[in-house]
Copies of this chain bind each other. A is one copy, B any other.
Amino acid sequence: MKYIVDISVEPIGTGTTSISKYVKIVYDVLKSKGIKFYPAPSMTSLELDDITQLGYILKDIDDALASEGIKRIVSFMKIDDRRDKENSIEHKLEVIKT
């Protein structure tokens, strides 16, 4: 059973409107933790086997951004917890083929 988590991380008070540098830091944290993810235009989809990982992932992301001098981070997440059928990024992409 997998959880699909969509996340968007917004650094507050950075003095620049550009966010892409910080998005790359998020990707580096996910890669370092071996988390499977799909970079969509303005949110990132993650695939988690165990939802209790979620807080540790967010902590590592926020700590990495804080080490860049960021003092406030507002994140938004959608968590899809499906228990009757296998859930995966591939499955979701398959069923939404337009």
Contact = CB atoms under 8 A, between A and B. Distances in A.
A16 B13 contact: yes
A18 B16 CA distance: 15
B41 A89 contact: yes
A73 B53 CA distance: 18
Contact of A54 (B6, B42, B54): B54
Interface of A is mostly: mixed
How big is the A interface, by class? 35 or more
B74 A10 contact: yes
10 contacts: A4-B42, A6-B42, A13-B18, A17-B82, A42-B78, A52-B56, A54-B54, A73-B79, A76-B77, A77-B79
Interface of A: 4, 6, 8, 10-20, 23-24, 27, 38-43, 45, 50-56, 58-59, 62, 66, 71-85, 89, 92-93, 95-96, 98
Given A10-B10, A13-B17, 18 more contacts: A8-B74, A10-B12, A24-B98, A27-B98, A40-B41, A40-B43, A43-B43, A51-B58, A51-B62, A52-B55, A52-B56, A54-B55, A58-B79, A71-B84, A74-B79, A74-B81, A75-B78, A75-B81
